[in-house]
Amino acid sequence: MKIPVDRLNDAPTSFSFEGDANWWRSALATDSGLPGEIAEPVQFRCRAQRIGEDVQLEGGVDGVVELECGRCLARYRHRFSEEFRFVLEPARNRVPADPEGAEALARDGLYLGDELETGWFRGSEIHLGSMFTELVSLALPVKPLCREDCPGLCARCGANLAVASCGCEEMKSDSPFSVLEGIRDDLVRGGN
């Protein structure tokens, strides 16, 4: 997953990479927050060109991972997609202030600023593996849901309401806070 800087010119060159199960395992080693499995190889796209001395990279990532729904705990396939575009300046002899950034510049020939839109490159090759891992991480939901309106599990009997309703439906509260409100009401009444 590398871009040969020396061979770029002012017309965009397209690159594509596939991240298979082996790549995913190596990504997991650097980012333990990623889900354990991919359902399909991850597809990476990148168009690279020179703009004067700078290098512009734009592209995206598409993939399908296996996630566990945060409400009903069912495993489901989640399709994700994320785009990127940034302009890199030659690093010359500048060194990023943060140690992680300095390490990335030495290792990958790529350092990205906090806003991920600008950065520096160094050397004749830019390695995109770490950046792609970060991009995948950004593309995944913080709270996975098998569907937006997943009703989750019954708080009383534990039945999966996404599959079938249970007998305690009418007892079920609308919000997780109504239980707390009930307790608060009891306390208020108890105090009087």
Q: Is 78 in the site for Zn ion (CB under 5 A)?
A: no
E strand segments, the chain: 2-4, 13-19, 38-51, 54-68, 75-90, 110-112, 118-121, 125-127
* Least Cβ distance, residue 180 to Zn ion (angstroms): 19
Query: Do the Cβ atoms of 31 and 65 come closer than 8 Å?
Result: no
- From 48-56, 69-77, 82-90, 178-186, give the range in contact with Zn ion by CB under 5 A: 69-77
Instruction: Give the one residue of 79, 107, 156, 184 binding Zn ion; rule: CB under 5 A.
Output: 156
Instruction: Give the one residue of 72, 112, 128, 131 binding Zn ion; rule: CB under 5 A.
Output: 72
Write the CB contacts of 2 (distance below 8 Å, at least 6 apart in sequence): 125, 126, 127, 128
Q: Is 146 in the site for Zn ion (CB under 5 A)?
A: yes
SS3 121: strand
Q: Is 163 in the site for Zn ion (CB under 5 A)?
A: no
SS3 73: coil
Q: Is 166 in the site for Zn ion (CB under 5 A)?
A: yes
- From 60-68, 104-112, 160-168, 184-192, give the range in contact with Zn ion by CB under 5 A: 160-168
Residues binding Zn ion (CB under 5 A): 69, 71-72, 146, 150, 154, 156-157, 159, 162, 166, 168
